[in-house]
Structure 1
Amino acid sequence: MTTGRPVRDLPADADRLRVLKLWLQLSLQRVRDRIADLERRDVERRRGAAAAPAVPDWVVETGIGADRPRLYVHVGGCHMAGTRVHAVTRDVAARGAADGVEACSHCGADAALGIT
């Protein structure tokens, strides 16, 4: 876009203008590549979220060992639940809490089960 007046913020010779043009083209391609990468990641994130298994309503955390004692009852999705958790029904969770399995104080499993 020219107005008939010389543009003073650009180099005055064609060689430097060509270098600037190339640099701008390369920069624009980097921006386009980054946008495409972010869009791919967003599609992958949405696809992964759609394919993720549903969070169970209740989980029981077990210990280590052959007998794997039940340690805690958690509300499903509790951030304090460890890696050794098993989805259970509400009845199994309530029965476990009644049998002495400790209810997680972080997620309030005992209150959610109505046994406080």
Structure 2
Amino acid sequence: MNDSGASRLALLHFLARVQERDLARTRRWIATEEAREAERRVGAERRPPPPEWLIERGLDRNNIVAVHAGGCWDTGRRTKSVTRAQAVDALRNHVPACSKCRPDTALGIEG
């Protein structure tokens, strides 16, 4: 096998030590990944439910730009969670409904 003087048994013991180190490292990686996965699960369980209705405000914070359903994919960055009554009130006061999620239809308000 090898003429360096190392016996076959010594080489096999060396190989076993290397493999044990590799296995220990793999087990640490597994434990780390299991901890991350547990943290993700806890985070998902603790995450509050998404709001049902959103109001999008303009840059001056006084100007209401649109009313959105909570799951709308086209909301701006300046949105605030509101109650159903607040969303209905905004739509009745001529705040535009989002053309993507159609909260006016979902709320039964024809505009």
Provide the TM-score with structure 2 as the length reference.
0.78
What RMSD, in angstroms, separates the aligned Cα atoms of the two structures?
Answer: 2.0
Residue 57 of structure 2: aligned partner: 62
Within 1, Cα distance between the matches of 2:68 and 2:92?
14
SS at match of 1:59: strand
Q: CA deviation at 1:42?
A: 1.6
CA deviation profile, 1:75-109 (whole Å, cap 9, x unmatched): 11322223321111112112212222221222232
SS at match of 2:85: helix
Q: CA deviation at 1:112?
A: 0.9
Percent of pairs identical after alignment? 38
Residue 39 of structure 2: aligned partner: 44
SS at match of 1:102: coil
Structure 1 unaligned residues grouped into runs of 5+: 1-11
Residue 83 of structure 1: aligned partner: 77
1:31 aligns with 2:26: yes
SS at match of 2:74: coil
Structure 2 unaligned residues grouped into runs of 5+: 1-6
Q: How many residue pairs were aligned?
A: 104
Q: Could you list the structure 1 runs, at least 4 aligned residues long, displaced by more than 6 angstroms after superposition.
A: none
